[in-house]
Amino acid sequence: VSKTGQPLALCVDLGGTKTLSAAVTRDGQVLARDLCPTPASAGVDSVMRAAVDSLRRVFIQAGLAARDAGAIGLAMPGISDPEKGIVYSSPNLPDWHNVPVAAVFREAFDCPAYVINDANAAALGEMYYGAARGITDFVYITVSTGIGGGVVIGGELYTGVTGLAGELGHMTILDDGPDCPCGNKGCWEMLASGTALGREARRRISDGEPSAILDIVGGDIERVTAREVHRAYRQGDRLAAELVKRAAYYLGVGLTNIVNIFNPEMVVVGGGLLKLGEVLLGPAREMVSARAYPEAARAARIVTAGLGGDSGLLGAAAYALDQKQRPKSSRG
């Protein structure tokens, strides 16, 4: 419990490149936060140690003791089992297999700890504190390195039978499209993510298409990412404009599927690629209007996330407090 009497959670949003930690009250107030790089290439133990140390710094900064926190929420990338608190595998943490993440934190802080998929956490964050406040039926997607998703139905996160529901980035868009690390081909995230944008840029520049993108990276094609495409786009580069148009097209294809499948009141779109803003979302919205069922398209507001990079962090905190309150019998 915080000094104001609000229930307090500790939370970690562990990404492939950075780890965010915070102490957050039930009403979404961040009392202290810490940001550190994720030592992904140093292996599982180093990553876990860095995350635990990060959370310790949050304690110190906030002047808290471990007993002040009611629960720890852990937003994790990849495939996890929320019931067991185990991360099975993670695309951005290559050597991760069956890591008992919740147990590590429970032992380090003597406090109940709960694991949740990072995109699912972000969906909850947006529902409690962000763009989807008061909305009971919506879909959250994050478009960055990959595409993650979270589905909220009737005010509850829909997790499926084994916790895997909402892997929207892996719906098939092109049945003979690029190979995806998940084992499928032509997944949405292989066509509309930031990674896809960078990859397509490198391919077309290698094919000899002229572009300011190449000048931005000093002629080193391997350094081309979505960020350089965005910069060239702002400079009026023709290839960059075509690439952004293509990403917006495939974003629209996937959003059309989502709107037809879920008939949501809102689709909240977050993630790094949304720095492109309306350039990306505008054409995608138009495609949804043109191709989805008109009644579904009219009902679905497609908006940008309200919490920016904090959706997952705040959602993990809320999730942990929710889980702690739940009677054990209803926990599956």
- Which residue, 189 or 310, is less far from Zn ion as judged by CB? 189
- Which residue, 183 or 208, is less far from Zn ion as judged by CB? 183
- Which residue, 31 or 255, is less far from Zn ion as judged by CB? 255
Residue 193 CB, shortest distance to Zn ion, in Å, is: 11
Under the binding rule (CB under 5 A), the answer on residue 196 touching Zn ion is no
Under the binding rule (CB under 5 A), the answer on residue 180 touching Zn ion is yes
The binder of Zn ion chosen from 8, 12, 187, 300 (CB under 5 A): 187
Residue 195 CB, shortest distance to Zn ion, in Å, is: 12
Site string for Zn ion, 128-167 (x = CB under 5 A): ----------------------------------------
Under the binding rule (CB under 5 A), the answer on residue 184 touching Zn ion is yes
CA dihedral 221, 15, 29, 156 (to 10 degrees): 110
Residue 181 CB, shortest distance to Zn ion, in Å, is: 7
Residue 173 CB, shortest distance to Zn ion, in Å, is: 10
Residue 198 CB, shortest distance to Zn ion, in Å, is: 17
Residue 316 CB, shortest distance to Zn ion, in Å, is: 24
CA dist 146 and 174 (Å) reads 16
- Which residue, 26 or 170, is less far from Zn ion as judged by CB? 170
Residue 185 CB, shortest distance to Zn ion, in Å, is: 8
Q: Name the one range near Zn ion by CB under 5 A: 105-113, 173-181, 197-205, 266-274.
A: 173-181
Under the binding rule (CB under 5 A), the answer on residue 172 touching Zn ion is no
Under the binding rule (CB under 5 A), the answer on residue 171 touching Zn ion is no
328 CB-contact burial (10 Å; exposed 0-12 / middle 13-18 / buried 19+): exposed
Residue 182 CB, shortest distance to Zn ion, in Å, is: 3
- Sheet-wide strand order for 266-270: 156-157, 147-153, 138-143, 266-270, 301-304
Under the binding rule (CB under 5 A), the answer on residue 195 touching Zn ion is no
How many residues of this chain interact with Zn ion, rule: CB under 5 A? 5
Site string for Zn ion, 18-57 (x = CB under 5 A): ----------------------------------------
Q: Name the one range near Zn ion by CB under 5 A: 10-18, 187-195, 267-275, 284-292.
A: 187-195
Chain residues binding Zn ion by CB under 5 A are: 170, 180, 182, 184, 187
